Amino acid sequence: PCPRAVQICVSKCPDRYLTYLTASGSPAALEYYRNFCTPEYKGAQKAALNVLKDKECPAMLIPSTPLARRCFPAIQAKKGVIMVGNKTTYEDGWGNHRNVTELLEGAKKANVVLETRQLAMKIFEDYTVSWYWIIIGLVIAMVASLIFIVLLRFLAGIMVWVMIVMVILVLGYGIFHCYMEYAKLKGEAGSDVSLADLGFQTDLRVYLHLRQTWLAFLIILCVLELVIVLLLIFLRKRILIAIALIKEASRAVGHVMSSLLFPLCTFFLLCLCIAYWASTAVFLSTSNEAVYKVFNESACPFSGQTCKPETFNTSNVTKQCPDAQCLFAFYGGETAYHKYLIVLQFFNVFMFFWLANFVIALGQVTLAGAFASYYWAFKKPDDMPAFPLFSAFGRALRYHTGSLAFGSLVLAIVQVIRVILEYLDHRLKAAENKFAKFLLSCLKCCFWCLEKFIKFLNRNAYIMIAIYGTNFCTSARNAFFLLMRNIIRVAVLDKVTDFLFFLGKLLIVGSVGILAFFFFTQRIKLVQDTAPPLNYYWVPILTVIVGSYLIAHGFFSVYGMCVDTLFLCFLEDLERNDGSAEKPYFMSQDLRKLLKKTNKGQPDA
């Protein structure tokens, strides 16, 4: 609501045109008008102009209808003519006649509010009749995610090699198609024109009639095919290692099934962080005060000074400046607290990032500790602790809180700098300084890359913290150099897991979404009568799709942490141990066979 306007609660909206100046001449009309005045109004004892000046009564009444606990002009159209109360004009209370079309803007906004309210009610109705089917859809997504993770133990290699073969076949078909098009254009008029002679053309289809275009495509695809084949020849062993680690991760998740529910704990803690940030931000935003200043039409020494509406009429200002008014200027304040309110908001954002990153780090260290206990168990799973997840969570809280807080602090500082850069970019949008915009864009890009790098470094540092219990800086340094010594293995494993996770999310979300679409649109004849009647069938479908993605993302985030942890443990195992009786390998038997490693004097685990 606008602070300049006086608002009061009324038992009934006005149903007629009436101005205060007109009503003041009739006791009956004035009695009706009193229903829309403030409690301070004393009746006809006060001059009409003073009543309007002190805003004790509105200057005019307009026929209105109630909507969302507000009174809006009762606008209607008759034969294409806009009218309010069967009139096309009205008096504004100061002797001016205005057209009712000036009230249309308020009516349009009221219509938007009404339509939004009706839409919200229909969506709420859809949720009330379909919530249990939505839950069933999410349960199906959860079961499908679990089944996919279990099947990766058996199908990871097949899916990866099928994907590689498909890429080779697609490129091979592209080469064949380009050659056929190149051969087909031989002898045709105009096909031998070079790209340089043709120049740039807005219609790109022109280039498809040139032999040189298809020759260029042919060469590019042949080079890509050759590069991929050479990479497969030289990296086949590393691809096999990546597949074996993914299979081993599936086994580890199977032995620590409680890890799949741990993201719920992280989600709950993140909700607390968001609630803290939101409540603090709302408190800071609403801590402003309404500031009133003196406004006048003639010269006045008090013009622009702060005033209080409650005592303004009895102050010296009205005596020296009779036409002065104490009007609302802005929300804010003139104290030191109000001046530095934006700094407090940025500090609140910084604390939110710090807390959120700490919660995420706590979850990563806990999962890494649980999966590391699986890897470093010589006899799996007999040598694992009874409750690996709870043990890892206890160690993280007891011994590694400082390291987690420091790593989260570094990341939070970078994220706040990015927020400040976005704020500056928003404020400088109207500026014409191209150099400043270019510099700001470069800084935003650099800090985006820095944030990605720090997230990658922190993730691996937390794994090393979970394995060795060293401080953050030592763990980050050891993890970084360990990964750099095995950079090719890192790249291969990263791309293979990215492909499998993308395939899994696409399969789960797509299948559950299609099932929800056919069910809620009543296209499955077997359960056609079971589907609830809906106003908008897309409401439960979108809810199921988004929920399925979040569930699949939660499951695969645990699985991804497991793969990364086992990978670092595997690299450490190779560097620390040699297979002797004093330093046996802790990797699984499949990995030892793949690398042709054996444990001398020790039975295979």
State pLDDT tens for residues 38-57: 888 877 778 887 788 777 88
Q: Which of 96, 130, 156 is the last residue of a domain?
A: 96
Looking at the fold, whether 23 and 89 belong to one and the same domain comes out as yes
pLDDT over threshold 90, residue 430: no
Looking at the fold, whether 169 and 230 belong to one and the same domain comes out as yes
Residue 292 zone, left/alpha/beta (φ > 0; ψ -120 to 50; rest): beta
pLDDT over threshold 80, residue 106: no
- For residue range 52-76, list pLDDT tens digits in order: 877 788 888 888 878 667 787 777 7
Residue 1 confidence class, pLDDT cut points 50, 70, 90: very low
Q: Do residues 513 and 541 make contact, with C-beta atoms less than 8 angstroms apart?
A: yes
- Helix (H) / strand (E) element for 331: namely strand 325-332
pLDDT over threshold 70, residue 602: no
Q: Do residues 16 and 63 make contact, with C-beta atoms less than 8 angstroms apart?
A: yes
pLDDT over threshold 70, residue 272: yes
Q: Which of 298, 314, 341 is the last residue of a domain?
A: 341
pLDDT over threshold 50, residue 605: no
- Give whichever of 48-57, 296-305, 377-386, 548-557 has the largest mean pLDDT: 548-557
Exposure on the CB side of residue 52, measured as CA atoms within 13 A: 15
pLDDT over threshold 60, residue 443: yes
Looking at the fold, whether 331 and 365 belong to one and the same domain comes out as no
pLDDT over threshold 70, residue 495: yes
Q: Which residues pair with 98 in a beta bridge?
A: 90
Check residues 193 and 445 and name the one with the higher pLDDT. 445
Q: Is the residue at 104 inside a domain?
A: no
Looking at the fold, whether 263 and 295 belong to one and the same domain comes out as no
Q: Which domain holds residue 60?
A: 1-96
Q: Is the residue at 1 inside a domain?
A: yes
Q: Give the whole-number percent of the chain exceeding pLDDT 70.
A: 90
| Residue 334: how many other CB atoms lie within 10 Å | 10
Q: Do residues 64 and 73 make contact, with C-beta atoms less than 8 angstroms apart?
A: yes
Looking at the fold, whether 206 and 300 belong to one and the same domain comes out as no
Q: Is the residue at 107 inside a domain?
A: no
Q: What is the pTM of this model?
A: 0.71
Looking at the fold, whether 412 and 276 belong to one and the same domain comes out as yes
Residue type, 233: I
For residue 381, give the 3-state DSSP assignment: coil
Looking at the fold, whether 382 and 416 belong to one and the same domain comes out as yes
- Could you please report the per-residue DSSP string of 71-86? EEE-EEEETTEEEETT
pLDDT over threshold 60, residue 500: yes
Q: Which of 127-136, 153-162, 385-394 has the lowest mean pLDDT?
A: 153-162
Q: Is the residue at 322 inside a domain?
A: yes
Q: Is the residue at 111 inside a domain?
A: no
- The total of structural domains in the chain comes to 3
Q: Do residues 380 and 255 make contact, with C-beta atoms less than 8 angstroms apart?
A: yes
Q: Do residues 46 and 53 make contact, with C-beta atoms less than 8 angstroms apart?
A: no
Looking at the fold, whether 330 and 264 belong to one and the same domain comes out as no
Q: Is the residue at 103 inside a domain?
A: no
Quick one: angle between helices 401-427 and 388-399, nearest 10? 80
Please give the Cα distance from 405 to 353 (Å, whole number). 11
- Give whichever of 113-122, 383-392, 473-482, 489-498 has the largest mean pLDDT: 473-482
- For residue range 329-371, list pLDDT tens digits in order: 777 766 777 778 888 888 999 999 999 999 999 999 999 999 9
**Two structure tokens written together for 21:** 């100046």
Q: Is the residue at 101 inside a domain?
A: no
Looking at the fold, whether 171 and 233 belong to one and the same domain comes out as yes
Looking at the fold, whether 411 and 473 belong to one and the same domain comes out as yes
pLDDT over threshold 70, residue 202: no
Q: Is the residue at 102 inside a domain?
A: no
Please give the Cα distance from 131 to 156 (Å, whole number). 35
Looking at the fold, whether 367 and 420 belong to one and the same domain comes out as yes
Looking at the fold, whether 128 and 52 belong to one and the same domain comes out as no
